[in-house]
Structure 1
Amino acid sequence: MSRSIKRRQRDPGQHAAAIAGAVDTAWNKSNHSGRRDVALSVVAALSLVSQRDSHGPDLAEQLQAQTAHDFTGTVQSIYTALVNARPDLTHLVYPLMAWVFDEPDRTLQNAAKRTADAALGEGQLELTGTHDRYDTDLLGVLLTLLKTHTAGRANAQIYTPTPVADLMAQMTPPEENTAVYDPAVGTGGLFRAAAQAMRTQHRDPATVSWYGADIDDLAIASCAVNSLLWGLGPRILLCVANTLAEGDWATRAEAQRAEVLQLTKTIRRDKLMINAIRTAQKLTEAAADDDSTQRPD
């Protein structure tokens, strides 16, 4: 039996654990092991890549064939596309994508590429690029694993196990056009389970307003990416907060989202105006040049 067939038959939870283990090992062999944001960012970016066409070229092989520099550019393009498509998630995902827009040096690029190769070698696209992604939380598993190597592990969150989350969601699946709140959302494991429970009852998770908060900005960033993988829709409202100390965090999440969307609208309007001015200027210059050529000496 080929390795690829074995992967397809692997339980999604076990597959996620294997990918996270390979990434954790590869990343901690680098000189940047403390930068868990980069390792998590690479896997998050790959999770936004669609599975390849079975009749087309192997996307995993294409990515593995890239140089470290080119792969860094690919990651940058993935996050740029995310921001353009979902500007409301920009401030949430920023902790994951900041490094790649900050002119990373060659050693960091090499470490990121080796990490990507480890994830791809374990068949990440066969998990996050297929419907198997609905049944597990790869980013949650990886973030938990990466935290065990940091000094902050004493304050690490304890995430609800997938079977427990699934059981809870199946008992009381959300209705459409309602709101779901999780004041300790982590990477969104309970949201995933609830969305899956809705699908089994032919309900659309995209109709729900999903409110979540967590003290860890990387967990919130991962939850934002997961909301795309799990089809949670546009009504995702997340914020970094200590909900034990901040009772009205949901209102702040709504305000932050509104502010980001307004800023995006203003920037796009200004870009359109600048482009219009430049176009008008070119037309004016072209008309002036044409007039000068037709004017008799």
Structure 2
Amino acid sequence: MTEQLDLFDSLTAETAPPKPAVPDTFTAAPRATTPAPRARQAVGPGPQPQRASMPHPSEGVHRRAMTIAEDVAAAWFKQHGSHRIERPIGLVAALTLVRQKDSNGPDLAQQILTQQPRQLLSMYREIWSVQWIQRPDLIDRARILHEWLNDDVDDQHLHLIRRVTETALKRGLLTLTGHADPYRRSETDVLSPLIMMTRSHGAQQGLGEYHTPAPVADAMAEAVVHGLSAELANTVKPPKAGEHIHDPASGTGGLIRSAAQSIRHRGLDPHDFQWSMVDIDPIAAACAAVNAIVWDLGPRVTVACDNSLANPNAVKDAMREARAVFEHRDSVVGCARIVAAVRQTQRLFEGATAA
């Protein structure tokens, strides 16, 4: 059984050591005496214990994510986009899943921008389909972000798709999420500010939705993983491979992102850990699922859309749902392979008979 690392465990007050028991030879408590002052250890120039600290992301990376969110939201509503905010969020989420494979090759953003609206629609459908083959559990959790693309998309929404795509790419989205290195992709969360910018203040209050700012999340993760001070360094457990890191009110996964970055900085691999996130908001949970792919958290990631307080088994329920989705994926892929094999055989047979 793996140990679970609570992201908030180390922020509680340090408990006092137990009071020593009174020896049996004492018939009464001894009279209190004033203890002699303890000598302080002199601080010399000797070697001090080294403890790595997580470097802060390059200056402005979180600000750039916020700027992208502001401009995408403005583009969506300026073009009379509907209140269905999962649509612009879903378009940006899909773009975070594409990579610039060759840094010296053709600019990926420019290649995308040359496509016509119908071609962009096909591209988005293909992005989600390819990712579903790899991680059907996470893409199914993100269904609210992409299922509308499978409907009949009218000209108004085709225009909106074009505007959102242009805005996100021209503002530099792929400079944040298009890197081959997952550490670079994980420097910030672009979907959290996008939810804030597209969702009204009243709706945020109604949902009780308050996103942790990325710099605060980084500081909290560093405190948990590295220890708050030299004194706490001996009491805070360092992360160990196999541990379960869980956020019961994850939003889009900001604290999980920071924890994964801190783990990488310690020379560990997030793939060796188990991760779980729970959020009651379907859009936030969907974004957390996409972010789990973008941040390359590994194969053992579970995202639940549930109320952690009302359902303490939310993660177990989500794991059961994920297994069912994987079984469905395997069945679909198996049928597709059979169909492809039959068609190839037919082509070979037709070619042989024609000759």
TM-score interval for Structure 1 and Structure 2 normalised by the shorter chain = 0.7 to 0.9
Shift of the alpha carbon at 1:11?
1.5
Structure 2 residue aligned with 1:189: 254
Alignment correspondent of 1:6: none
- In 2: Cα distance, 1:165 partner to 1:61 partner: 33
Counterpart residue number, 1:4: none
* Equivalent of 1:167 in 219, 238, 258: 219
Higher mean C-alpha displacement, 35-44 vs 274-283: 274-283
2:137 aligns with: 88
Closer/same/farther in 2, CA of residues 175 and 116 from structure 1, 3 Å limit? same
Aligned to 2:70: 21
Contact 1:214 1:239 in 2 (8 A): yes
| Cα pair 1:52 1:58 within 8 Å, conserved | no
Deviation at 1:78, TM superposition (A): 1.1
**What secondary structure is seen at the aligned counterpart in 1 of 2:66?**
helix
Tell me if the contact between 2:128 and 2:139 (Cα under 8 Å) persists in the aligned partners: no
User: Structure 2 regions of 5+ residues with no counterpart?
Assistant: 1-57, 226-238
Q: Residue by residue, what CA displacement relative to the aligned partner does 1:220-252 show, whole Å, maximum 9, x if unpaired? A: 111111111111011111111011211111110
Any residues of structure 2 matched to 1:234-253 within 5 Å, and which? 234-253=299-318
What's the counterpart of residue 138 of structure 1? 190
Following superposition, the deviation at residue 97 of structure 1 comes to 1.0
| Distance in structure 2 (CA, Å) of the matches to 1:212 and 1:44 | 18
Separation in 1 of the partners of 2:323 and 2:94?
Answer: 25
Q: Which residue pairs with 1:123 in the alignment?
A: 172
Q: Within 2, Cα distance between the matches of 1:204 and 1:262?
A: 27
Q: Does 1:71 align with 2:149?
A: no
Does structure 2 retain, via aligned residues, the 8 Å contact 1:147–1:156? no
Aligned to 1:111: 160
The gaps in structure 1 that reach 5 residues or longer are 1-8
For 2:350 and 2:123, the matched residues in 1 are separated by 38
Greater mean deviation of Cα atoms: 39-48 or 151-160: 151-160
| Structure-2 change in CA distance of 1:274 and 1:193 (3 Å) | same
In 1, the alpha carbon distance for the partners of 2:119 and 2:329 equals 28
Name the CA shift for 1:112/1:10 in 2 (closer, same or farther; >3 Å).
farther
Aligned partner of residue 211 in structure 1, secondary structure: strand
* Offset, 1:284: 7.9
State, as a whole percentage, how many aligned pairs show the same letter: 35
Q: Which of 160, 182, 206 is residue 154 of structure 1 equivalent to?
A: 206
Conservation of the 8 A alpha-carbon contact between 2:71 and 2:167: yes
The amino acid of 1:190's aligned partner reads L
SS class of match (1:103): coil
Residues 41-73 of structure 1: CA distance to partner in whole angstroms, max 9, x if unpaired?
Answer: 111111112136443322222222222221111
- 1:57 corresponds, among 106, 122, 130, to 106
Normalization by structure 2: what TM-score? Answer: 0.73
3-state SS of 1:238 partner: strand
Question: Is the Cα contact below 8 Å between 2:139 and 2:289 reproduced in 1?
Answer: no
Cα distance in 1, alignment partners of residues 292 and 80 from structure 2: 31
Q: Secondary structure at the match of 2:146?
A: helix
Deviations 1:132-154 (A, max 9, x none): 43121110111121112674652
Instruction: Give the match's secondary structure for 1:96.
Output: helix
Q: Which has the higher helix share?
A: 1
Alignment RMSD, CA only? Answer: 2.5
Residue identity opposite 2:95 in structure 1: L
Using a 3 Å threshold, how does the CA distance of structure 1 residues 285 and 138 change in structure 2: closer, same or farther? Answer: closer
Bigger CA radius of gyration: 2
- Answer whether contact 2:132 2:140 (CA < 8 A) is retained: no
